[in-house]
Amino acid sequence: MAVKSLTLTLKLLYLEYAVTVAWHVTRPIPVLEHDHVTLNCAVEGQTWDEQQVDWYYNSLSHIYRYETQERQIGYGRWETRARADAPFQLTIHNISVIDDGYYSCDVGYPSRDVRTIRSAVNVADGPHVTVEVKEGRNLTITCTVNANPPPSYVRLTKGKTLKREDTNIGKMLNGEQDDVNIVEYTKIDVGRSDAGTYQFIAANSVDRTIIFIPLEYHCDSSGECGLVRQGKIIPTTEPDSDSSESTALSATPEC
């Protein structure tokens, strides 16, 4: 996925007699992880010998202080820059979901009047899937999805053997459950036919993630039998060749 660079200008309108702090919230900037985002803080309608600008994150963390030229320790990817021919800039390099939030700039005028403007940065991210398997005679597979925006599509398959009512996806489709971030499958008293590779797919408008969950039927020395993991759970971004023949368990129609 190509990395983009985006620029947004936060304009502070100059009002000659205004002495109060003015807030304006722009619409969220839709960006993807690893993009480079530049925020410009500019005074419109007035020229100043120098712009005294402080930057804040979520109105609390002081990113940059003009008077001391100090940057907040720990924010190595945030770069500030001022030029005579350009607005004061804050650049976020290699942006990630931890950079979600509001960015504010305070401009100090010669009269020390201060205006403040802020912009919401919304970082989109593809699905990150966590899989938990309760092994044994009674099997439970729980797939949890973390994504922004939330997943619009989820399904769990094992060949053609799984049905919607076998998982909580049936409840989602019937309107009994709103959370499509967690898909759970439970099978009581498993047999050899329950062994095999289970596949979980989650997708949103950014990306798609596919997880393969191989399970084998195993009996211990005491004769107790059940399903156990066979090797490691394997994440991938490419579907397997048989996925089109599987019975889909989906919270929305096929992508």
Per-residue pLDDT of the chain (255 residues; tens, 9 = 90+): 454 445 444 444 333 333 223 334 455 566 777 777 777 665 555 444 445 666 777 766 556 544 444 444 334 445 555 544 445 667 777 777 777 777 777 665 544 444 444 566 677 888 889 999 999 989 999 999 988 888 888 888 887 667 666 666 655 555 555 556 888 888 888 889 889 999 998 888 888 899 999 999 988 888 889 998 876 555 554 444 333 333 333 344 333
- Provide the residue count of the chain: 255
> Rounded to whole angstroms, how far apart are CA atoms 97 and 127?
12
User: What's the pLDDT score for residue 49?
Assistant: 43
Contact 235, 210 (CB under 8 A): yes
Contact 236, 214 (CB under 8 A): no
CATH tag for 5-124 (out of 3.40.47.10, 3.40.50.300, 2.60.40.10, 2.30.130.30): 2.60.40.10
CATH for the stretch 135-245: 2.60.40.10
User: What's the pLDDT score for residue 78?
Assistant: 54
Ramachandran category for residue 58: left, alpha or beta (phi over 0 → left; psi -120 to 50 → alpha): left
pTM: 0.54
- Is residue 85 packed enough to be buried (19+ CB in 10 Å), middle (13-18) or exposed (0-12)? exposed
- 129-135: long-range contacts (C-beta < 8 A, 24 or more apart)? 129/200, 129/202, 129/209, 129/211, 129/235, 131/200, 131/211, 131/213, 131/233, 133/213, 133/215, 133/229, 133/233, 135/215, 135/226, 135/227, 135/228, 135/229
Q: Where in the chain are all domains bearing CATH 2.60.40.10?
A: 5-124, 135-245
Question: Which residue, 90, 88, 86, 98, is CA-closest to 72?
Answer: 90
Contact 145, 181 (CB under 8 A): yes
User: What's the pLDDT score for residue 221?
Assistant: 83
Residue 230 phi/psi, 5-degree rounding, is: -110, 100
Maximum pairwise Cα distance, the chain: 87
